[in-house]
Every structure is written in structure tokens, then in C-alpha cells.
Structure 1
């Protein structure tokens, strides 16, 4: 009851604040983000730069709910919508559209929006990523130890272990991943990495089209898809938040222990939360993130 009353008071104090949709040009595309300002002095920061998960978008429930929850706790946020190779993309990625995007494209787009925040005079930024977006945020933080970045918060970030993707692909699509990898590798070897493989099954999308480069980007064996491993290279204080009922990233605590990323990285588990931290679990996530941000 106390939490509910506090939230209602904070909501009343925020008035009719609404997110502002921003667009920027990037490599011939238009990319967008949703900005929530916590007051006129929002540039003093920290501003939380948020990144969604696989083939998703910046208005999905976990992102929009957390933007509001962060706003109620006094934090501005910028929720980035990855282009995934499409201009002015909205909503979930249409599986029928050819996949020309790469997992690592996100790193450049995160940098684009960080540069925008810096250009606005923002003084500090917290990087936040959910699921695959957690791995992409970790990769950015590992490669760019900027003074602008205050800390990193990752919710159910992607993990990886040898053989898992092969097993998952076989279960999902009923065929060996190795066959499709060889197909993609052969195209790349011939200098045809931008050639569309079709039909092909990629990520969550069945019988679609994808370039050989795109297929390899998401499905070739790559230890850097394991976020806890990438965190060894991150120098900023990092909070990793797991859900005890997460059926998507089931091994996060075990992977954190095995990778041993260092004292700068902390793990918190929210009991009962699934991969998307629905309902009151989002409030617990926001509380954990806010406490960590305040302490670092």
C-alpha cells in the first residue's frame, strides 16, 4: 500500500509528461528513440539509455513500463529503437522482411544515441539492456569506456554456451544448424555475404530470407554472445538482474559464476520474475536499478 501511494503521488507530480519521439539519420536510414524527461534539469542526468531485445522494439511492454517506472523514481530515459536494417521501423520485426541486419549493428546505433545525448549537454548516462539488448549494451560498454557512462544495468541479458544454439535450432526448426552455417559460410567464402539465403530459418523467423552475413552474425558459434563473459571487459559498475522464473535465459546465475566477470559486476535475482519482468516485478527491477544507480 505504501508503494502504491508513493507511486500515485509521484505520478501526480509528473503531470501530463509524455515521451517525445526523436529521429536521427543513420547510414541512409531513419532511426528513432523515445525520450522521457524527468524535469527541466534532465540534462544533469543520469539519463538511462535503454535497449530492447531480439527483433523487438522500444514501445514493448517491458521497455515502456520501465520508462514510466524510472520516471516515477526521478530518472530520465531514452529508449532506443534499433533499425534492424529498416528505415523508420516500428513494432516487432516483420519476419517476412529480408534480414540484412547484424547483431553488432546495435553497437553503432547505441553510440549514435549516446553522441546525441552528449550533444544535448547530458552529463551522465546509465546504459540499460534487456535480453539480447543486454549483450549488445555490454559489448558497447566493453569497447567504449567513456567518462559519460556512469554505470550499466542489464536485465536478463543473453547468455551463450557451446552447443546450446545447435540444440535449440534443431528443436525449433527440426534440422541441424550446421547445414545452414555451411551454406552461409560458402557464400561468404565466395564474396557473396550479402546474398540472400532463401528460404532460411533465422532467430524466431521461419522460412524467410536472410543474407549470409546476417545468418552468421546471429548463429555462428561466438563466446561473446555470452554476456557474463563480455562483462570481464567492462570497467563500469554493472548490475545484472535475473528472474528466478526466466524460461528464456535460464542459466544466467550459473553463467555469471562461471565467467567470474569481476567485482564491478553484481547479480541480483528477483524471485518469481520471468524473462519480461511483468507487472509488479517491473517495480522490483526498477527499485533494484534505482538503488544501484544511486550507489554508483
Structure 2
């Protein structure tokens, strides 16, 4: 299915089941297919599951602009309004989590019941004078330069670390290859823009304003979004946030730790 945003971009989404809506917002480079192990689980338990393909990703249009977090948040708002969704649970992974945070900052929580931030790129990744806990800029810039120089090589090198299989996580080579192919199918221009925008956005001022129930899930072996830079700090900024830190989990915990993630999310839904 498709809808058109106010700037004329045609975005794809998938919509399954009936019941209280859950909107899944994918990571940068990935699309709605990444939620293969979440959507059936929650549809079978009485939820309506909607997954968006960000512009430049999946089956959506590939415009030259709109890969900043504010536009991503506005695209998410356009989907929610297009479907006239209410009492929504927003589930965002990685950059998707950052877009969920921007949605709340820009559009409020009138339509939102709760949010889940999984492996989210929050609150502010780049190290600066007033953000000494961040990742040194030289490391971020070197990684971005390597991505620009040889994107397939960069992705292949990250693949094992993404799921932290070196720590014993049982993720098949076929699953790793499937995830890699999703990333390679994404617009190279979108990848460049998204990666730069997400590491340089400062959410610290707006996260304390989140008032809906929030669950944060992160792996302590996350190479892409180190937990001490991201989730631990985010949990301190969002009032009353429920925090789950998974031992030996990498960035791709939605696959490697899917049973625990799904059950923690189900318990969070049931508790509210």
C-alpha cells in the first residue's frame, strides 16, 4: 500500500491485523521487512501492525531530499493521519527510534499511547565540548568515509557485529545475508544522508518532555550505538522510562533476541 506525503513523495507501508495499532519504524538502511519476527507475533495476539518504508528505502520513492529526522518524523505523522490512527504504540529501531522521538517533539502525543525505543540512536552521538560522553568525531567521520568509499565492503564488515554473533548469538548466515541484501537495496544517496543526520542530531532538550509510557531496549554489545553513549543516557532523560538492557546483544536484537524482545514488548503493552 502507498500514500503520498505533503511534499509529493510516495511512501510504502504494510498493514496487517486488527485491534490497537502498532506502528513499526525501521532502522536506517532497512525497511518494513526487518520486522518479520515481530509483526506476525503481535497480529496473532490481537494487534494491528503497520510498518513504514522510509523514503529512499524499501518500496518507497527515492527523492533527493527529506532524509533529515524532522522530515522523517513528518512522514510518520502523515502516515498516522492518513490512516487516522489513535492510541498508537510507536516502535522505532535505531534511526527509527530517533524519528519517533522527533515525532513526539514536533507533533505531540495526542494520537500516541506509548513508545518503544529499540537500539535507538539517542540522545546525541557525536562528542562535542558540551557532550563529552559522545563518540569522538574522528571515529564517526572515519566510519562515514569508509561507508562512502565502499558501501558493500563496509556493510559486509559490519554484518557479524550487527548481530554480535561472536558472542554466541544464534543468527544463521542466511539471515545475515538477507539483512545485508536489504541494506544494499536502499538508495545509496539515502544511506549517506541518513547516516550523517542521525549522528549529529541532539535530542537532549526534548527527551525529558516525553510524557507517554516509554520502554527502552538495548544490547550491551551494540557496536553501532554503544549503550553507554545511547540507551543508558536516554533512560535518565525520559521520565519513568522502562529500561531493558540485554547482555551480549548487538544492534540487531530484533532478530538475535527476538523472543525476549517480543515478550518484553508484549508485557509493556499489557501493563499500560
Shift of 1:123: 4.0
For 1:45-194, what aligned pairs fall within 5 Å after superposition? 45=20, 47-60=21-34, 63-84=35-56, 88-89=59-60, 99-103=64-68, 104-118=70-84, 122-159=85-122, 160-163=125-128, 164=135, 165-173=137-145
- Tell me how far apart the structure 1 counterparts of residues 235 and 219 of structure 2 sit (CA, whole Å): 19
- Tell me how far apart the structure 2 counterparts of residues 123 and 258 of structure 1 sit (CA, whole Å): 26
Q: Contact between 1:242 and 1:253, CA under 8 Å: does it hold in 2?
A: no
Report SS of the residue matched to 2:218.
Answer: strand
Shift of 1:74: 2.6
- Matched residue, 2:244: 268
Shift of 1:233: 2.0
Count of aligned residue pairs for this structure pair: 223
Q: Contact between 1:231 and 1:265, CA under 8 Å: does it hold in 2?
A: no
Shift of 1:216: 10
Shift of 1:217: 6.5
- Tell me how far apart the structure 2 counterparts of residues 261 and 220 of structure 1 sit (CA, whole Å): 18
In the superposition, relative to structure 1, how do residues 258 and 264 fare at CA in structure 2: closer, same or farther (>3 Å)? Answer: closer
Structure 1 runs, 4 residues or longer, greater than 4 Å off: 214-217, 252-255
Shift of 1:108: 1.0
Shift of 1:287: 0.8
- Tell me how far apart the structure 1 counterparts of residues 51 and 194 of structure 2 sit (CA, whole Å): 26
Q: TM-score scaled by structure 2?
A: 0.69
Shift of 1:67: 1.1
Tell me, which stretches of 5 or more residues in structure 1 are unaligned?
1-21, 91-96, 175-203
Report SS of the residue matched to 1:100.
Answer: coil
Q: TM-score scaled by structure 1?
A: 0.64
Higher RCO, 1 vs 2 (CA within 8 Å, ≥6 residues apart): 2
| Greater Rg over alpha carbons, structure | 1
> What whole-Å deviation, never above 9, does each CA across 1:127-171 have from its counterpart, x for those lacking one?
110001101111102333333210001110003142534422124
